[in-house]
A = this chain, B = another copy of it.
Amino acid sequence: MSPKITTELLKQLRQVMKSPKYVQEPVQAYIVPSGDAHQSEYIAPCDCRRAFISGFDGSAGTAIITEQHAAMWTDGRYFLQAANQMDNNWTLMKMGLKDTPTQEDWLVSVLPEGSKVGVDPFIIPADQWKRMSKVLRSAGHDLVPIKENLIDTIWTDCPQRPCKPLITLDLNYTGVSWRDKIVALRSKMAERKVLWFVVTALDEVAWLFNLRGSDVEYNPVFFAYAVIGMNTIRLFIDGDRMMDPAVREHLQLDSTLEPEFKIQVMPYGSILTELQAVGASLSPKEKVWLSDKASYALTEAVPKAYQYLTPYTPICIAKAVKNVSETEGMRRAHVKDAVALCELFNWLEKEVPKGTVTEITAADKAEEFRSQQKDFVELSFATISSTGPNGAIIHYKPVPETNRTLSVNEIYLLDSGAQYKDGTTDVTRTMHFGTPSAYEKECFTYVLKGHIAVSAAIFPNGTKGHLLDSFARSALWDCGLDYLHGTGHGVGSFLNVHEGPCGISYKTFADEPLEAGMIVSDEPGYYEDGSFGIRIENVVLVIPAETKYNFKNRGSLTFEPLTLVPIQTKMIDVSLLTQKELNWVNDYHQKCREVIGAELERQGRLEALQWLIRETEPLIRVQ
Which A residues are within 8 Å of any B CB, using their own CB? Answer: 98, 138, 140, 284-285, 305, 457-460, 462, 466-471, 474, 476-482, 506, 508, 513, 545, 547-552, 554, 556, 578
Contacts and interface: CB of A to CB of B under 8 A. Distances in A.
A140 B556 contact: no
A479 B554 contact: no
B471 A458 contact: no
Instruction: Name the residue in A305, A480, A508, A549 with the highest tally of chain B Cβ atoms < 10 Å from its Cβ.
Output: A480
19 contacts: A138-B305, A140-B284, A140-B285, A458-B478, A459-B470, A459-B477, A460-B482, A466-B508, A471-B474, A476-B551, A478-B547, A479-B547, A480-B549, A480-B550, A480-B556, A481-B551, A482-B551, A508-B508, A578-B578
A545 B478 CA distance: 9
A156 to B, nearest CB: 41
Nearest to A506: B467
A479 B548 contact: yes
Contacts of A477: 457-460, 556
A109 to B, nearest CB: 11
Contacts of A305: 138
Contacts of A545: 480
Number of copies: 2
Contact of A469 (B140, B467, B479): B467
B482 A554 contact: yes
A476 B551 CA distance: 10
Contact of A481 (B469, B549, B578): B549
Contacts of A506: 467
A460 B474 CA distance: 10
A471 B138 CA distance: 41
B457 A474 contact: yes
Contacts of A482: 460, 551-552, 554
A548 B480 contact: yes
Nearest to A471: B470
Contacts of A457: 474, 477
A550 B462 CA distance: 35
A305 B138 CA distance: 7
A530 to B, nearest CB: 13
Contact of A470 (B140, B467, B479): B467
